Amino acid sequence: MAEAMQGLRQLVDVLNIETARISGDPRRLQLALGESESRKLQQADNLINAEIDKLNIPETQKALLKAIDTKSKADYILGGEKRRIVKGADGFQYYVNPDGSFERVLPGIQAKDISRGYKPELVNYKNVIEEDIQIGNFIIKPGESVPFNVSIPEIANAISGTKGLEEVKDRTVYTRQGSLYMTEDGDYREIIRGDKRIFSGPMGEYDPGAFFAKYPDTRSKTSGEEQRYIPDFKTFVGLNKDLATEERSLNKILSYWENIKDTNIGVERLGDQISTWFKTLAGRYDLAPQELARSIAEGKLQGLIGANRIDTVGGGVMTEKDAWRIIARLGGDVDALQNPAVVGPLLEEMYRDKVTQYNQDIKGYNIGVDSQKFSGYEKRTPVTTEEVTELFTMLPKGVPVGAKKVNVNGITLYQKDDKYYGIDPASGSVVEVEIDL
């Protein structure tokens, strides 16, 4: 019956502590823990009093012993009879009697329920002097290391006041991350290895002296500041997906523009269209480069209509009128009336609008890559205004942007300021030429 009541009290203590922990009220939790510890001390005091009753001493002395504090009573019982104590295979301590028999020390103490996750706070202590050290009735030989459960206040107090007993430190060297420091070359992460400190970043690793000498104006980011700008994994993956979609859209516009530049215009384009029809009807595959470029551009235009529907006419069901509005936005249908000189500026404007959003998304994406939280991703490079202008020029590749096409003595040249450029017939490359005016 007594064991059942004790088990019930322990269950009540556990429930009170867990209820207080869930409530989030620290005062309530502290009160619950205090009540549990008080009950445990009372149980220990009762057990010690029972042991005092077994002692062969006068009743008046027993009454005096019961009146003193719990620790003093325990010290008297454990040390008064000077019997040797050993640890049994069951984990309990036993007195060694003169006749060789064994007797449990404080037999009323029950084994802890390991299913509740109890783990004693064991710390190794070593005798570093040439004499035996006694902790209670336990003897530690010179050079011997012994684990003690320092979560028990009596044991912790006895150890702290004993000379020649030193804690055995863990020799493992731990590495942890420190603050993030901002520099003109990028961010550096502070890394602490044992008692050493290094800074790792874009230009390599530096010790504190070299790092602060190289970057005297550096400052650390606060944890809130760093986390404010670094995207979480879900946001980072979303940015990467959006950038991949935007890159495909930009590449489609460029691919379409390259085909448009390779086609003829006006009546010649109409001739290419008719020639393609007859060759196809005759089962022939030998299309001229301009014929092939026109047919491919016609197909790519259909893809651009779908890709640019939202930006031009918005959402909802697309009507035939909406489709023609999108085609007009792209420079018109690929027919004899379409002029690359008109298509180029329209595609360039559309391309610039998409690049603006693309460059904005790159900022957040690159911050995530620089944080080193996401492995396997590479930084992306923003698209500049100069690059967009050069992509949609009608000038041959290599001719400076802004040059004008001129005819000098029957030769086609390209003039920018006071310099002239021409196409080398042998290599097809652009070269600067000198002319006499």
pLDDT at 87: 65
Supply the pLDDT for residue 319: 81
pLDDT for residue 113: 45
pLDDT in tens, 145-196: 877 777 677 677 777 777 888 877 655 555 677 788 888 888 888 888 766 7
pLDDT of residue 11: 55
Q: How far is CA 345 from CA 305, 350, 393, 394, in A?
A: 17, 9, 9, 10
Which pLDDT score, from 0 to 100, does residue 101 have?
63
Instruction: Give per-residue pLDDT as tens, 352-370.
Output: 888 988 998 888 888 888 8
What residue segments make up the domains of the chain, in order of their start? 2-116, 175-229, 233-394, 396-437
pTM over 0.75: no
pLDDT of residue 114: 40
Report the Cα 65 to chain-centroid distance in Å. Answer: 62
Q: Is residue 186 within a helix (H) or strand (E), and if so which, with residue range?
A: strand 186-193
DSSP one-letter code for 334: S
- Residue type (1 letter), 413: L
According to the model, what pLDDT value does residue 271 have? 79
pLDDT of residue 71: 64
pLDDT at 21: 59
Those residues of the chain that have pLDDT short of 50 are 81, 112-119, 225
Q: How far apart are CA 384 and CA 399, in angstroms?
A: 18
Which residues have CB under 8 Å from 175's CB, separation 6+? 191, 192, 193, 194
For 414-431, the three-class secondary structure string (H helix, E strand, C coil) is EEECCEEEEECCCCCCEE
